Amino acid sequence: MPDSASVTSTLLPALPSLGTQAERLIESGVHEIAGLSAAEVRAVAAAPAEDGALLAVHPEHAPAAALAPLLRHDGRPGFVVTDMTDVDLFAPLDTLTLPDAPLYVLTGLDRGDGMANWSPDEALPALTAQDRTPLLLSEGIHWVLQQPAVLERNHCFMTIGSRLRKANGGLDSRTPAIWLSNGTGRDGRERRNAPKVGWCWAGNRHTWLGFASTAGRRGR
């Protein structure tokens, strides 16, 4: 395991206010995906929140496959890799408790650059020891939707709070991540620099992937 247990990221642009985030969700049609009215989203965003909070729709209301195409980078839309057709079956780890609400807020976001070159199997216990929890895939997509600059070439992140449970009760070895496509292979050259939802093996390390995490989640 790497020596450092820090999750600290390089300085990123501040997230917009929750009110601005709500308008972004509405403009992108996320409220319609979730079966919510624009008024409901605005009302939730109007409640006080600390700086740097992220407004997210519960994954049961807005699955990753529906959200990924809404992302944009370099003018290109986001996509899910072709060998992850089961992306929406990736669910929160049993150790994570989500607010019982269609919309909730995450605080203390960190991209986890300090854990680059760690494996998911190594990163999860380290995050737990710091009283942090890894982001879900849907939460990571919401973060990129509201703050596209969080995805940088060679500085992207995994969302290991979402895992696929196998029929025998064990976890599938794939762990989801969001990064920028190189436009190679099955991605296609036209997708170079597009936001890409993909996966990596739980035991593998990647120098260009951190581990996104949050200090907490709160219903609205």
Q: What is the pLDDT of residue 14?
A: 86
Q: What is the pLDDT of residue 6?
A: 58
pTM of the model: 0.94
- Which tens digit of pLDDT belongs to each residue from 10-52? 678 889 999 999 999 999 999 999 999 999 999 999 988 888 9
**Cα(first)–Cα(last) distance of the chain, in Å?**
38
Cα–Cα distance for residue pair 72/210, rounded to 1 Å: 20
| pLDDT at position 5 over 90 | no
Q: What is the pLDDT of residue 7?
A: 63
The secondary structure of 181-205 as a DSSP string is: --S-GGG-GGGTT-EEEEEEETT--
Q: Find, among 166, 162, 115, the residue nearest to 138 by Cα.
A: 162
Q: What is the pLDDT of residue 49?
A: 83
| pLDDT at position 181 over 70 | yes
What the block records as the tokens of 50 is 């600390």
Q: What is the pLDDT of residue 220?
A: 76
Checking DSSP bridges between strand 79-80 and strand 133-134, what pairing results, if any? unpaired
> Would you place residue 8 in the very low, low, confident or very high pLDDT band (cuts 50, 70, 90)?
low
Q: Find, among 171, 101, 179, the residue nearest to 137 by Cα.
A: 179
